């Protein structure tokens, strides 16, 4: 089996991470995978904000908790991963969600190939697009016409996620 398919078949949504930081080299490779993702019309509009500082991440989580009533599980959206990558795109660009989705999947597969865990996060979208969350766009130095699209938690796996069965009858052949 080739390495790409091995990474695709092996990737799981990791929700239990070791507290230690991932290497700069691994992070650089994962970010490169996001940057090399194809984008509509090759616009390359997606921006990546990387948070490795636990104090900053705890501040973001506290802001989210103050705006969200779904309980502790949702408020710990990063699952205490040592790295969280926020992906942003232009509000007016109709392909921001698609472009960011492709980039985040590239990064998740790259993480798996490097022996790291990841989980793709969307639960904070409404918060990040609210007045309370928009302060983070300013703090990250993003243009005002950008908004949060999707995120990725990354780290060394503490507890592996079991394999889930793949639902059948989803392919239509004509």
pLDDT recorded at residue 69: 74
Count of domains observed in the chain: 1
Residue-range definition of the domain harbouring residue 37: 11-155
pLDDT recorded at residue 74: 64
The answer as to whether 87 is a domain residue is yes
Higher pLDDT, 46 or 74: 46
pLDDT recorded at residue 67: 85
pTM of the complete model? 0.95
The answer as to whether 125 is a domain residue is yes
Distance CA 91, CA 157 (A): 34
How far is CA 92 from each of CA 13, 25, 62, 101, 144, rounded to the nearest angstrom?
30, 34, 29, 17, 11
The answer as to whether 44 is a domain residue is yes
The answer as to whether 41 is a domain residue is yes
pLDDT, tens digit, 9 for 90 and up, residues 122-135 = 999 999 999 989 89
């Amino acid at each position: 089996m080739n390495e790409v398919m091995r990474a695709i078949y092996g990737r799981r949504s990791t929700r239990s991470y070791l507290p230690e930081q991932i290497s700069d080299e691994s992070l650089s490779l994962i970010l490169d995978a996001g940057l090399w993702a194809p984008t509509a019309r090759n616009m390359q509009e997606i921006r990546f904000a990387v948070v490795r500082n636990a104090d900053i991440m705890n501040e973001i989580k506290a802001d989210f908790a103050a705006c969200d009533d779904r309980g502790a599980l949702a408020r710990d959206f990063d699952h205490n991963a040592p790295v969280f990558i926020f992906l942003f795109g232009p509000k007016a660009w109709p392909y921001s969600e698609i472009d960011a989705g492709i980039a985040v999947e590239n990064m998740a597969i790259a993480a798996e190939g490097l022996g790291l865990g990841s989980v793709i996060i969307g639960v904070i979208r409404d918060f990040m697009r609210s007045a309370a969350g928009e302060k983070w766009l300013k703090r990250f130095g993003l243009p005002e016409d950008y908004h949060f699209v999707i995120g990725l938690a990354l780290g060394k796996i503490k507890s592996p996620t079991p394999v889930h069965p793949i639902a059948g009858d989803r392919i239509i052949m004509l």
